[in-house]
Amino acid sequence: MIMDDTKTTPDMIPADAPVVEAALQDARPQRGDRNNDRGGRRPSNRRGPRREGRQKPEFDQKIVSLRRVVRVTSGGRRFAFSVCVVAGNRKGMVGVGQGKATDTPLAIDKAFRDAKKNMITINLTKGMSVPHEIDAKFAASRVKIMPAPGKGILAGSSVRTVLELAGMREVSAKLLSRSKNNINNAYVAIAALEQLKRTKIKKSK
């Protein structure tokens, strides 16, 4: 077999020979051409219409107590969640409610509906405070609420939560009992504020 060692030179290539690399470059889609990148289809707008801003709820709520309770039956033990919620509009309306369910969100929803059902309206002064001293007793809890001009809210436990959601600003509360039950402390605050429903406040002109 005869081997041809002749090297190909540029002079030996015909002038009308096709350039393979140039042809491949023409066939490839350009980076800037989106239609070629996606097979001739325009890019779809995956984002839907903008969501409107969420409307602020009428009543604010705070969880005062969250417990897991057990009921023993012949078939075994059944677990559930007991929730106590304080709800208010920060404008003189406040209420306390309780709910129990096997799921925590469902128990919170039940407690919130119970709080709205048992909501009271309070007569407050122009400075969002109580017009005079009030005290009340509920179960083993006892509280005394007094006006405190220029001092903000001076209270603790769940009584403070009730006063905040009622919209009060310059008020002081003192628990006269040793009870640490947050549920009873919330109810005793409601019992004390309920006395203001019968109080007539003189409006200054």
Q: Which has the minimum average pLDDT: 47-51, 53-57, 173-177, 187-191?
A: 47-51
The model's confidence at residue 61, banded by pLDDT at 50, 70 and 90, is: very high
Asked whether residue 27 carries a pLDDT value surpassing 70, the answer given is no
Are 79 and 98 in the same domain? yes
Cα–Cα dist 76/78, whole Å:
7
H or E stretch covering 141 = strand 141-147
Predicted confidence (pLDDT) per residue in 103-135, tens digit: 999 999 999 999 999 999 988 888 888 989 999
Q: Give the domain range for residue 105.
A: 60-120
Task: Report how many domains make up the chain.
Answer: 2
Confidence (pLDDT) at 75? 87
**Averaged confidence pLDDT in the chain:** 81
Last residue of a domain, one of 71, 97, 120: 120
Are 146 and 160 in the same domain? yes
Alpha helices in 124-181 (DSSP H): 157-166
Predicted confidence (pLDDT) per residue in 71-82, tens digit: 999 889 999 999
User: Hey, what amino acid is at 48?
Assistant: G
CB atoms inside a 10 Å sphere around CB 160: 17
- Give φ, ψ of 127 to 5 degrees: -90, 15
Any domain includes 52: no
Q: How far is CA 90 from CA 18, 30, 57, 60, 199, in A?
A: 83, 62, 12, 8, 19
Any domain includes 67: yes
Last residue of a domain, one of 120, 144, 166: 120
Confidence (pLDDT) at 46? 59
Q: How far is CA 97 from CA 43, 72, 169, 186, 205, in A?
A: 53, 25, 23, 10, 38
Asked whether residue 20 carries a pLDDT value surpassing 50, the answer given is no
Kindly state the DSSP code that residue 10 receives in the 8-state scheme: G
Please tell me whether residue 61 adopts helix, strand or coil conformation: strand
CB 123 within 8 A of CB 144: no
Closest by CA to 157, choosing from 177, 137, 128, is 177
Confidence (pLDDT) at 2? 46
CB 131 within 8 A of CB 112: no
Confidence (pLDDT) at 197? 75
Asked whether residue 45 carries a pLDDT value surpassing 60, the answer given is no
Percent residues over pLDDT 90 in the chain:
53
Cα–Cα dist 81/116, whole Å:
20
Asked whether residue 93 carries a pLDDT value surpassing 70, the answer given is yes
Confidence (pLDDT) at 157? 85
CB 133 within 8 A of CB 144: yes
Are 109 and 126 in the same domain? no
Are 167 and 193 in the same domain? yes
